Structure 1
């Protein structure tokens, strides 16, 4: 079975039901683990990678939160299917573009997943809607403890969990929140926020995380330190800084709304974006994301409130290339993709609004 069936539904963490979901798409916690006595994936040969994949997938049987999981060996999937997993944030671009035996384990609601043989043998990922780092951590830790009873992880009494990249040694934890910050972009304050966040030991990255650019004014805020701290300390610091960034974004939106001339320009901009989504005949995925970002901002200004955050999240997901092909059929030519995307968006607006 291929991952194509995933493209028939929205990931549950995109339902905009979580805290602060008007600004925060998701909270993610990732735990990196490696098997003792095995080479890291980058040094392992094909036989060893295959053994690691088999060992880890077998250990998942009956695991909490992931008992109904789909399991895929990416070496057996077509490129289009690998791209679909990346677009749903279930596989990293590095894993999708890698070579040899490597896998993905995905729970039925997609809130819990695991990459096998990426940079590390195991990368557990737990995602929740909105600003909800505590529940995301709980989900990841439950699976981690289950696996640790069945697998021998590479651990040092001095350094903690050992990982392929030294920056992950210790807790092996990386937590992030995906935030929508158009107000700070429009008021030209986003660079200042980037610098301030960096000084506090956090990082601001793009839509797909490390090495990616910002799309639609969405940014990933994540902590950096993993050595000499525990998981609760990491999440507490990230949560406090995320809360401060959210307040700065709300303040920026209030200033935009209060200044009559500026508000009129923004209202014109968001209505133009709405018009593009409703009537355009050619749309790139980047254009959809930019227009959806503007319409999302409109809700905070008290206009276009009939367009829900959950609906806009759906647009962001299903207008990506692999999802579009899975949804409308893979028969159209590459040069027709923008036409098919625009048609799909118009039909979605007609059906849901």
Structure 2
């Protein structure tokens, strides 16, 4: 006669405690998440009890930080409610990243399209700027964010976004393509041309962002190719506007017009203290990265990259290679963008 022994189910609270103690006690964890826990040990019992209205816990929020010890941030928001339930640690991340406390009067308001931009670009800059781009990260209010969304809801969120994008008219009207309808060769070509996202980012892999690939994901572009929307990457929405030349105002105005349309039809996640909500808390506020590709041959020849980075930082700018985040500097063309995302109005990120 065989006797079956059943093991007791793991206690979720104890599992969360183990995660917290690992982040606190192991010095290899250097993220903002680990630093917060070390500085706020008295809050551990309370953190373990917390849960968002979608059922996500502390362990879900810090899973990437646990899996990638050298992660700078260590947090990914699991849903909009996360910014209320885990508001204190998320504020710690935002303020640590921006190296300052927030001015509540500078949180971006819900109205997106009314603040049109008209920047004056000098002739010298016009000669050197090759292209301009504005990228916005947004999430849907009523769905779990991509790090924790279920397969069913991932597809449902995409369907809502596609329906909203299909309603666009005028200069924003265009075509939506499901990623699953593209061959691997077509996907690779679009990724190479920066028209589509891949599934190879280490942090997003560890954060489960690529689960159910390629279901619930796709790309929209308007008819003249100056506006794109990625659905289902790090955030539910990555809206981008691109122009040849230096007209970054046109990029900004088209993208904010698109966001106003999407907010009206699907509801974008916004918070009174954080602004527009994103998966990575370092992007909250405006959720915007405005950039230009600019040719700087004499600077490249005569100035160390480290010095150039320092100058940019002092002027609230970031500089990197044209191949994307964490790419090297090849040639004389640089990608220069706003450093500030939080505690600043959308149209003033360049100040």
Q: For this structure pair, what is the TM-score category when the shorter chain's length is used for normalisation?
A: 0.5 to 0.7
In 2: Cα distance, 1:90 partner to 1:167 partner: 24
Q: 1:22 to 1:163 in 2, by over 3 A?
A: same
In 1: Cα distance, 2:228 partner to 2:153 partner: 22
Aligned to 1:52: 157
Between Structure 1 and Structure 2, which shows a larger proportion of helix residues? 1
CA contact (8 A) 1:64 1:143 kept: no
Of residues 108, 111, 127, the one that matches 2:223 is 108
Aligned to 2:131: 26
CA displacement, residues 17-58 of structure 1 (integer Å, 9 cap, x when unaligned):
x97554212111111111112111121122211111111011
What is the 5 A alignment of 1:190-339? 190-235=305-350, 237=351
The TM-score with structure 2 as length reference comes to: 0.58
Aligned to 2:188: 83
Aligned to 2:262: 147
Unpaired stretches in structure 2, ≥5 consecutive residues: 1-121
Aligned to 2:166: 61
For the pair 1:117 / 2:225, whether they are aligned, the reply is no
In 2: Cα distance, 1:157 partner to 1:186 partner: 46
SS at match of 1:232: helix
Aligned to 1:161: 276
Q: 1:23 to 1:193 in 2, by over 3 A?
A: same
CA RMSD of aligned residues (A): 2.3
CA displacement, residues 104-139 of structure 1 (integer Å, 9 cap, x when unaligned):
101122100100011100111011122222111100
CA contact (8 A) 1:64 1:142 kept: no
SS at match of 1:120: coil
Report the Cα offset of residue 67 of structure 1.
4.9
SS at match of 1:91: coil
Runs of 4+ deviating beyond 3 Å: 18-22, 64-68, 92-98, 188-191
CA displacement, residues 179-218 of structure 1 (integer Å, 9 cap, x when unaligned):
1222222224544222210233321122132122233322
In 2: Cα distance, 1:49 partner to 1:69 partner: 22
The TM-score with structure 1 as length reference comes to: 0.57
CA contact (8 A) 2:313 2:339 kept: no
SS at match of 2:243: strand
In 2: Cα distance, 1:151 partner to 1:95 partner: 28
Aligned to 1:184: 299
CA displacement, residues 215-272 of structure 1 (integer Å, 9 cap, x when unaligned):
332221111221111111114x3xxxxxxxxxxxxxxxxxxxxxxxxxxxxxxxxxxx
SS at match of 1:149: helix
CA contact (8 A) 1:169 1:226 kept: yes
For the pair 1:128 / 2:233, whether they are aligned, the reply is no
More displaced stretch, 155-164 vs 177-186: 177-186
SS at match of 2:294: strand
In 1: Cα distance, 2:331 partner to 2:170 partner: 32
Unpaired stretches in structure 1, ≥5 consecutive residues: 1-17, 238-353
Report the Cα offset of residue 146 of structure 1.
1.1
Aligned to 1:35: 140
SS at match of 2:166: coil
Report the Cα offset of residue 64 of structure 1.
4.4
In 1: Cα distance, 2:266 partner to 2:340 partner: 26
